[in-house]
Amino acid sequence: MAYSIDLSGRVAFVTGASSGLGAQFAKTLSAAGAGVVLAARRTDRLKALRAEIESEGGDAHVVELDVTDHMSIKAAVAHAETEMGAIDILVNNSGVGGTQKLTDVKPGDFDHIFDVNARGAFFVAQEVAKRMIARSKGE
């Protein structure tokens, strides 16, 4: 099934954009006309993706983000809005997995997975939502 959507003038913030699904989400949103903020820890990969998006006529900005660090989240979202404008779309894609058997997972392994996949996703969504809500109220 083919479809198209026009996201011209919109800003999308994509976490985990340095590889896999995050990179694909960013390319797809850019192809639909959105300006994309590429957010992840591995900025070298983000810069390569930005070059690819820009070579295809898209608009992309790179921001370093560690979703396990609350201050990094606040700084990345603020920087993204300074560079690209208000965020309209959030693709909260950062995530990690483990390769151990369930019975071999240690508390530290679990804590890291939970910090990235649950806590990080929650606080990225919270920071973006605060700004979206304030904007909708005209603040």
Q: Is the pLDDT assigned to residue 1 strictly greater than 80? A: no
Cα(79)–Cα(70) distance, rounded to whole angstroms?
Answer: 14
Burial class of residue 104, CB neighbours in 10 A (0-12, 13-18, 19+): exposed
Q: Among all chains, which residue has been given the structure tokens 């990080």?
A: 120
Q: What is the pLDDT of residues 111-121, one digit of tens each?
A: 999 999 999 99
pLDDT, tens digit, 9 for 90 and up, residues 60-82: 999 999 999 999 999 999 999 99
Q: Is the pLDDT of residue 2 over 90?
A: no
> Model confidence over 42-65: pLDDT tens digits?
999 999 999 999 999 999 999 999
